[in-house]
Chains A and B, each alone.
Chain A
Amino acid sequence: MTEQKERELYFWLRLIREFEDRISTLDKQGKIQGGVYSGKGQEAVVVGVCHELRPDDWIFPLHRDLGAFLVKGADPNRLMAQIFGRRDGFSKGKDSFLHGGDFSNCIFGATSMLGSTLPVAAGTAYKFKIRREDRVAIAFFGEGASSRGDVHEAMNFAGIYKLPVVFLCENNFYAYSTPNELQFAVEDVSDRAVGYGFKGDVCSGNDLHSVMKAARKAIERARAGEGPTFLECKTYRYHGHSEHDRATYRSQEELITWESRDPVERWEVYLQKRKYDIAAIREEVGGKVKKIVDDAVAFAEASPVPEGPEAMEDLYATPITEG
């Protein structure tokens, strides 16, 4: 890996962390009206996967993958405006948080029905396949969503048609409060891949190297026409399901255990071992990401609040008028 790439990856990890932390603060200050679903602690997953993609590959992030938007190219200003529910957000105030998607950067905006995007990702991959396009689709989902029927249906379709799709499971051990032992009776949910006729793989989602290696393999397999991969990244969210969830269903010791495997700090250790001036890098990147997030907040706060009649827009291609 080149030094430039190593530094770039660090920038993305830090930008996401800064963005996530700021949103949590803004939420506490009452500046965000809807739910905030922090992905703090899971940054290495989205960086490791999205950094391996091309601009015309599609990603289907889940509700906690704010970082995937950023790495895939979404404008931080518009992303913040989206989170504020303002007119310059991707959905112009029509829906909250990450639901708007960003078509121009090939980022899908998911619904709240977690897992329902997987067949959509498979359909997109089908189009890539029959049009012989050298593109892949990445469907993110949580281990909780893996229990849903449409996740199964999507994987079954993808297996039959050998679609260029990666099913990327962020296994963070809790679906809201539900622990894995009440979600499935296996250790690795990616074991299911064999039942769909494709490969399953497990990696450490808190270790950027591990994610990148596994993601690259899965993406190359998809591009080569060898079909889907079920890639499971074991990781952990530091916050509750959403900011109002105090997550009393898990122990402090467990949280600390995972904080000691922090993906951002791990990368700093790596950079340090590479004999870079980590103190200088930390300061330089810290200043850069703070400015980006400051600017994004200023942009979002200045963006207009949508007016009532705008609720009638974008429902049909041609607006329906009352007769």
Chain B
Amino acid sequence: MAVMTLIQAINAALAGEMERNPAVVLLGEDIGKHGGVFRATEGLWERFGPERVMDTPLAEAGILGMAIGMALNGLRPVAEIQFADFIYPAFDQIVSELAKFRYRSAGQFPAPVVIRAPSGGGIKGGLYHSQSPEAYFVHTAGLTVVMPSTPADGKGLLVSAMRSPDPVIFLEPKALYRTAKGEVPEGEYDVPLGKAHTVREGTDVSVITYGAMVPVAEGAAAEAEKEGVSVEITDLRTLWPLDVEAVDRSVQKTGRAVVLHEAPRTCGFGAELATLVQERSFLHLKAPVSRVTGFDTPFPYAMEKIYLPDVRRTLDAVRGVLTF
């Protein structure tokens, strides 16, 4: 196994699958000759040529519309939206076209489109380079929504996304692109969609999280351990379809749940998680479900460190559910 960063693992997944499957085509802004602003597609234009690694004009609706049209007739397009914040001009293509493609045609139209987008804060990007839009897409029936937190999952989940018959919104926590390092299996490697991962076993409190908040949860768990508190961490990895059994198992074991994400609080994905926990595990609960999230504000530029949930806030929530 090689040690890689998350961005290297993404690049390896794209290269490997393009090598294996000639139907895979990449498109996006600055992804070709330049190799992508985060270098996710570095070297692929040289290796696979401009027809399969397509530099597009600055036009997100056009990029996703084009990707849908490619998928209609046998290609497997992987579109890069340069920042998840830039996905909104293409919202209609995702919500009206792509998500409803199979449904409105009663299964006739296939839409194996992968949309990769760097998501979340932590790089001092301000309002328009830091947002976490996952809840919009989970709310839209017909989409699969994925967010890895480790290099190995980055590779394995992206490979599975490129093999999925359904459209996948693949959100990459950009704060982890170079800070997450880890062993990644070489060669062909996939991680199934729709399966959560228990990052850490514990008995007192369950932290349910995903993406860039996984390392935050790990930091909080280490601190809690010093206080004699055993925290279990579930990394959802795929937000939809949700591995709800994994959530049930963990919460029914510990009886206490903290949901953690960096997106804003109201109607965030944590709201859905908290609801599912109370619907499905009510009699196991020893305390109300606690949410640790970003604020109900736009992403504040100079106050980024305050906005993003950190170890201290997560630890406070863990203590809170313990002392309820």
Contacts and interface: CB of A to CB of B under 8 A. Distances in A.
Interface of A: 58, 90-92, 94-95, 99-104, 108-109, 111-113, 116-128, 130, 137, 149-150, 153-154, 156-157, 160, 313-318, 320, 323
Contacts of A113: 92, 96-97
A11 B110 CA distance: 34
A323 B245 contact: yes
Contacts of B66: 119-120, 122-123, 126, 154, 157
B166 to A, nearest CB: 5
B267 interface: no
B323 interface: no
B108 A90 contact: yes
B285 interface: no
A316 B57 contact: no
Interface residues of B, number: 49
11 contacts: A90-B108, A94-B103, A108-B109, A113-B92, A120-B72, A124-B72, A126-B70, A127-B74, A150-B61, A160-B57, A314-B102
Contact of B105 (A101, A112, A128): A101
The 4 A-B pairs with the shortest beta carbon distances in the complex, nearest first, are A123-B69, A119-B65, A153-B62, A317-B165
A92 B70 contact: no
B272 to A, nearest CB: 13
A90 B74 CA distance: 20
A125 B70 CA distance: 8
A116 B69 contact: no
B75 interface: yes
Interface string B161-198: 00011100000000000000000000000000000000
Contacts of A313: 106-107
Nearest to B111: A317
B142 A316 contact: yes
Contacts of B304: none
A262 B47 CA distance: 57
B65 A100 contact: no
B248 interface: yes
B141 interface: yes
A100 B245 CA distance: 35
A147 B7 CA distance: 39
Interface string B90-125: 001100110010111111111000000000000000
A156 B62 CA distance: 9
B104 A100 contact: yes
Given A58-B73, A157-B56, 7 more contacts: A119-B64, A119-B93, A120-B65, A120-B72, A123-B69, A127-B70, A313-B106
